[in-house]
Structure 1
Amino acid sequence: MIKKRYIVLMFLFQFATMAVYAGNYTGTYTMNNGSATLTLKLNQGADGTLTGELVGSNGYRISLKGEVADGIGEGTASDSKGSAFFEVHFEGGKLLFYLMEQNSDQGRSLYFTRVGGGAPARSIGVGISGTVASRNPLAGGNAVSPFNGTFSGEGVTLSLQASGKAISGTLIFNGSQFPLTASSSGKDLRGNFNASGNSYPFSARLSGNKMKFSTGGTTYSLHKTGQESRTAGLPSNPLRQRAPAPGAAQRPMVTQSVAPAMNGRTITDRQA
């Protein structure tokens, strides 16, 4: 069994209203946190596949594998013992790298600068204004995700909460509850649920109020029950923002330059 391990990004992000950019992600990007440089290498295939790695100054590497859809890159970040979900897109001339750890509804972001390869990004947003393009998973908004709610069928129940493309919730099977995290792309969902200290992948596809949920080679047919989510009692997602009051100014958050960590060791730690 692959032992569960979490990838944690220990930093806050600076959030401002600006256009979102799209382009080919192939290239090398860097970010200096004051004590070390993080290097992000990405390769986008002609078919939309996205691969790469995040490398620290100590040689520690996090592998990236995913795809590009509607100008947004997303997939799984992993080492040999565990995984998390990542998303990338161009924003304000920078590459925003967003990571959400396993078994959590919390995500963090880093801004990288392209230093080699690839073509310049092109704007797909509305320019600098009072709102951010709706594809930004960190932006507030009133749109309701079709994945919000409870889906049941064939002995399986999924209670889901969505914040942008990030999904968290609970899987209930034979009376046992298992926390899950996932990332959505259109009507598709990919993620992992955790049971007895192990992480298991699953996928799902939504069609109206019906869902096909697949894991371990088995597919279950679920339907939306219309009941309140059973995850209502879980800690609220800190990224779920309330719509600002009319005329209220947004408050930018201050970036804390601390690097990603796995099992308490940051990617910038020096090797012994």
Structure 2
Amino acid sequence: MANGSRQAAWEFFGAELKRRREDAGFTQSALGVQVFVSGGYIGQFEQAIRKPQLDVAQRLDEILQTDGFFERMWRKLIRDQPYTEYFAHVVELERLATQLSEFEPALIPGLLQTPEYARALFVASNPLATEEYAEEFLRARMDRALILKDATRPKYWVVLHETALRTWVGGATTMAEQLERLASMMRGRKVLVQVIPFAAGAYPKMGKMMKLMEFEDAPPTVYTEAVNSANLLDDPAVVKRVQAAYDLLRAVAESPKASLALIESVAKDYRRCASTT
């Protein structure tokens, strides 16, 4: 399903939600209470600004007595997404975010990856995948990154561990190009990057990736990831603790200026290595 037709389908989902909500006599706020979201969220679902999660679609069916209509439509729309079910929501939220704050302990974040780096990661996890499947993955990964080229792109702050710079992914040339692109984006003020050096030793939330997403008219959300599963968390107390942890990560990391110098230095090391092989 093309992006335009998928968006039209989500708009139909929202229009049906509004019609059936009004037929049942619920205000947005009253329905939100029943399905454990805010009335504002219901309004965003109806306008196709946000996409509900599966459990919300199921509760809508239960409260509005729609015999599984919203769950079936949700499953159809998510199935047509180029992302896994748990990650499709994150992609939608990235597009809506006004600020993204991300920590990656071992690799370059997806929004900043070059095609060659992303391909090497994919092949490492999917050694028997067809070329067609690999190309589909790469198209989706590169399409995601287009939000950083948009005039309304979110403010993007990334903290990396030095491990992400030093781990060979795809060879010396691939790593050199990846780090050179990262440095170029930093110099172009597309992203603010800080690096936690090996010398820092132990650091907060060691080894655990996290992404904080902030929005103009909705509460912030935290995304964390495990093996073939993930969590989207918007409980205010949880988000506050993650924000505090992210502040500590920024504190132990090198400054943006020193981080840029380190990234460029490591990129030069990879270039020298590539020229001798």
Structure ID, larger Rg: 2
TM-score of the superposed pair, with normalisation by structure 1 = 0.27
Q: Which gives a bigger RCO, structure 1 or 2 (Cα 8 Å, sep 6+)? A: 1
Richer in helix (by share): 2
TM-score of the superposed pair, with normalisation by structure 2 = 0.27
